Amino acid sequence: MLPVITFFVFWIALEAYVFFALRRTLTSSKTRIAALIWWGFGLAAVAASIIGALAVGGPLVHASPWQNGLIGLMFTFLITKFIYAIAYGIGDGFRLLTRWRRWRASSPPAQAVPGTTSPDSRRRFVGQLAMGIAAFPFAAFLHGVVRGRYQFELRRVQLVFPDLPPAFDGLTIIQLSDFHAGSFDDPVAVAKGLDLVNQENPDLVLFSGDLVNDRAEEIEPYKEMFGRLRGRMGQYASLGNHDYGGYTNETKGDNKVKNLNRLKEHHADMGFTMLNNAHVRLERDGQSIVLAGVENWGHRPFPQKGDLDQALAGTNQEDFVVLLSHDPTHWDEKVRPNDRRVDLTLSGHTHGAQMGVEAPPFIRWSPSSFVYPRWAGLYTEGKENLYVNRGFGYIGFPGRVGIWPEVTRIELVRGEPSA
């Protein structure tokens, strides 16, 4: 209840501050009316999203196309107004600091000097500057909602291992993660994203969890296209936190087990072998590697069902191991401390928060970094590697801003890693 109250207090305060800031900034009646219409439209979008959530229930899990649109507008306007308020508030802060210093010095208020800029003019300039700054995130978030969520990106990664069996030199893996079928509203766009997989003709297709948002039936409209994914050595998958259900009343209690079993059946129908705390041995030219998978393991409240020891039971210490583990938290908490070396762990889960800035080597940031130290891309510690996929789908915010939906092509190469 407290988070809800906090949100409403923040929202009301933000809307009030932006309203009065716009009135102070704009002097022309036409521009003022246009700006207040923009403000009112954003207010209505947030209110409609909240009302829709209360009326329908579970918009973050079972969002319809119209809910997706409202939620997208809500995020766009809230974040834009927040950035505008910060930029304008800096100017207000300097003004308050100046007044406080004069009060402490018992100085009279400053009078406008002819030929100089008046306080009102400076305030309007700051307000106009704040509007210019806020225009950038407004445009970025609109793009993220309209096009960014389906702006699929094929990322190519080459990893070098001295212990990779020679027969597997050049092995190609396509990793998908976080499909979140229940969020999609454009099957044609989804099909184009999945087409990237077979165009690469990979050896393996690996899916690291969260096929759906909550209900197993969400994948049904996409089963045919997902079922066309093929690797020359097979297709394998593990479970993510959303796959277990329990996010709505429909998948709680006895329905939770039935829902999970149905999801596993869908995986089998699509040609994917589930690796739930289990492994398979892949053989080529008399040599082999181990492909293992664990059930989801993450910090509470996420399920902690993953059992690495069970997944690797019966394997040898010298085996080269590739592991599917949905939540990258598992890598730091359980995989790296384990006595068994896992050469490559493939995760997802974070989505890179679906927003951020990636312009290496200058900047690489996402709000996800506040929660997950390993939030996207490749991480290496000693001889162990983790790759965190940015996710194919989306949930919550129906868009992508700077962190695009990802299909990952990983090539394993035998050799000595460069220093």
The full set of domain ranges for the chain reads: 2-146, 154-414
| Structural contact between residues 213 and 182, judged by C-beta atoms closer than 8 angstroms | yes
Q: Beta strand pairing status for 235-237 and 273-274?
A: parallel
Q: What is the pLDDT of residue 259?
A: 95
Residue for token digits 């589930």?
Answer: 274
The phi and psi torsions of 71 (rounded to 5 degrees) equal: -65, -40
Q: What is the mean pLDDT for each group of 10 consecutive residues in the chain (419 residues)? A: 78 86 80 78 73 54 69 85 90 79 68 56 80 90 94 97 97 98 94 96 98 95 96 97 89 91 97 98 97 96 95 95 98 95 98 93 91 96 96 93 97 87
Question: Whole-prediction pTM value?
Answer: 0.88
d(CA 393, CA 33): 38
The alpha carbon of 410 is separated from its chain's Cα centroid by a whole number of angstroms, namely 20
Peptide linkage before 301 cis (omega within 30 of 0): yes
Q: Beta strand pairing status for 235-237 and 377-381?
A: unpaired
| Dihedral over Cα of 215, 217, 220, 221: its sign | negative
d(CA 208, CA 239): 7
**What is the token pair recorded at 341?**
């070396």
Q: What is the pLDDT of residue 59?
A: 47
From the list 14, 25, 42, 11, the residue with the least C-alpha distance to 131 is 25
d(CA 211, CA 214): 9
Instruction: Just give the CATH number of 154-414.
Output: 3.60.21.10
Q: What is the pLDDT of residue 113?
A: 52
Q: What is the pLDDT of residue 60?
A: 57
d(CA 349, CA 364): 18
**What is the token pair recorded at 342?**
């896992």
The number of C-alpha atoms within 13 Å of 51 and in the hemisphere containing its C-beta is 8
Strand, coil or helix: what is 381? strand
d(CA 287, CA 285): 6
**What is the token pair recorded at 300?**
């509470």
Strand, coil or helix: what is 376? coil
